[in-house]
Amino acid sequence: MRAQFVLVPFATLGIVAPAHAVVYMSVAQAQAMMFPGATFAPEFKTLTKQQVSAIEKASSVDVHNNDLKVWRVSTGGWFIADQVVGKHEYIPLALGLDAQGAVKAVEILEYREAYGDQVRNPAWRSQFTGKKHGAALTLTKDIQNISGATLSSRHITDGIKRLLATYAIAIAQD
């Protein structure tokens, strides 16, 4: 175990990307991983007003987008690519369902949460204005991790609840 603590003054820090953004995998990679060897037939749908309100009623979660990206899997089951509203940003995720509509796998495709609320705070951000010199650290490339108060993944679990209601209302019944 080795650990060293430093306080990096913002004046010497050229932060290029204030948001912590990680791309974990593409939709195609998630498909191949959840259903190895299968082929995927797109059955994209636009949810009707009635379906949206039924989904919202069943899941108690708002539907922000009525376009549903769903694929029928050749080996049985469904694959949905969707996004949930995070604290500030959209978080794309993939949901694999088996032929009975039970969750087979969930993978977060990208994570774009900001380095807390600090970067949303204009006073905090103004510190970086015109300060591009010095060792440029990017929060994504050079700082691999952030540790702070644990952020809840409530928005993601709510999103999955909404997609399961969507499956019951708009996919299974078709």
Partner 1 sequence: MLSPSLRIERARPLLGTTVSIRVEGLAEAQAHRAIDEAFCEVALVHGLMSFQERDSDISRLNRDACFQTVEVHPATFEVLHWARRIAEASDGVFDITIGPKLVEWGHLPAPQSRYAPDPEASWRDVELGDDYSSVRFRRPLWIDVSGLAKGYAVDRAIERIQQFCARQACVNAGGDLRVLGPDEERVALELPMPQDALPMLTIQSAAVASSSGHVQERIHDGTIRGPHVDARRGAPIPTSRFACVVAEECLIADALTKPVLALGAESEGLLRAFGALAHCHDPTLGWRHLPKDAA
Residues within window 94-113 making contact with partner 1, judged by CB under 8 A? 106-108, 111
Q: Among positive and negative, which fits the CA dihedral 167, 162, 61, 30?
A: negative
Cα–Cα distance measured from residue 44 to residue 42, given in angstroms and rounded to the nearest whole number: 6
Cβ–Cβ under 8 Å, residues 159 and 64 = no
Q: In the set 42, 48, 102, 142, which binds partner 1 (CB under 8 A)?
A: 142
Q: In the set 41, 99, 102, 143, which binds partner 1 (CB under 8 A)?
A: 143
| Tokens coding 31 | 């498909």
Q: Decide: is 4 part of the binding site for partner 1 (CB under 8 A).
A: yes
Cβ at position 160, least distance to partner 1 in Å: 7
Q: Decide: is 28 part of the binding site for partner 1 (CB under 8 A).
A: no
Cβ at position 123, least distance to partner 1 in Å: 7
Q: In the set 17, 63, 116, 136, which binds partner 1 (CB under 8 A)?
A: 116
CB count in 10 Å sphere of residue 51: 19
* Helix-helix angle 49-59:154-166, to 10 degrees: 130
Cα dihedral 13→16→21→24 (10° resolution): -100
Q: Residue 53 or residue 125: which is nearer to partner 1 going by CB?
A: 125
Residue ranges that bind partner 1, judged by CB under 8 A? 1-10, 13, 22, 24-25, 33, 106-108, 111, 115-116, 118, 121, 123-124, 127, 139, 142-154, 156-157, 160
